[in-house]
Amino acid sequence: MPERIMPGGVMSGVIEAVISLLLVAGGIFVFIGSLGMAHLRDFYMRLHGPTKATTLGIGCMLIASMMYFWSVDGKPDIQELLITLFLFITAPVSAHLLAKSGLHLRLKHADKTQGKPVELRPEEVGDKPVPHPDKGHG
């Protein structure tokens, strides 16, 4: 990789240290998220890793990239911020839908996992379809 040269000279040491720290932290968080998904015993446990750790990791990496291009070009860019915002908004939605589909299929769970399908309302498990608001009940 070539030496990084800014328009005003070599990149300042503090900014480079912060960018490197954010990059490595993001990599570690992404790794931990995938490790949790590959290693834990139960689907409801496995859901925790990617939804929280991976989202934080990718946020760290995108902020590092934004700081890098800001310090090279001299002006901030909105693209990375847009990707970060989109991922942070969509990750809980997809996790909620995945948890609902896991409850609907009545997947096996470890003994310590709380909130079993028997304890939940039928709409939450998905046994009884929730009525469409336009069509009324039935």
Partner 1 sequence: MLSIALYITLALVVMALLMNLYRLTIGPSLPDRVLALDTMYVNSIALIVLLGLWLNSKTYFESALLIAMLGFISTVAVCKYILRGDIIE
Where does this chain bind partner 1 (CB under 8 A)? 1, 4, 11, 16-17, 19-21, 23-24, 26-28, 30-31, 33-35, 37-38, 43, 46-47, 49-50, 54-55, 57-58, 61-62, 64-65, 68-69, 72, 77, 79-80, 82-83, 86-87, 90-91, 93-94, 97-98, 100-102, 104-105, 107, 126, 129, 132
User: Do the beta carbons of residue 40 and residue 61 sit within 8 Å?
Assistant: no
**In this structure, what token pair is assigned to residue 5?**
């040269």
State which residue, 4 or 116, has the beta carbon closest to partner 1. 4
CB of 36 to partner 1, least distance (A): 9
Which pairs count as long-range contacts for 65-68, CB under 8 Å and 24+ apart, including other chains? Answer: 67/15, 67/18, 67/19, 67/22, 68/19
Q: How far is CA 8 from CA 18, 68, 70, 71, in A?
A: 19, 14, 13, 10
User: Do the beta carbons of residue 20 and residue 4 sit within 8 Å?
Assistant: no
State which residue, 94 or 119, has the beta carbon closest to partner 1. 94
Q: Which of 18, 87, 29 is nearest to 57 (CA)?
A: 29
CB of 78 to partner 1, least distance (A): 10
CB of 51 to partner 1, least distance (A): 9
CB of 32 to partner 1, least distance (A): 9
CB of 121 to partner 1, least distance (A): 15
**In this structure, what token pair is assigned to residue 22?**
């954010």
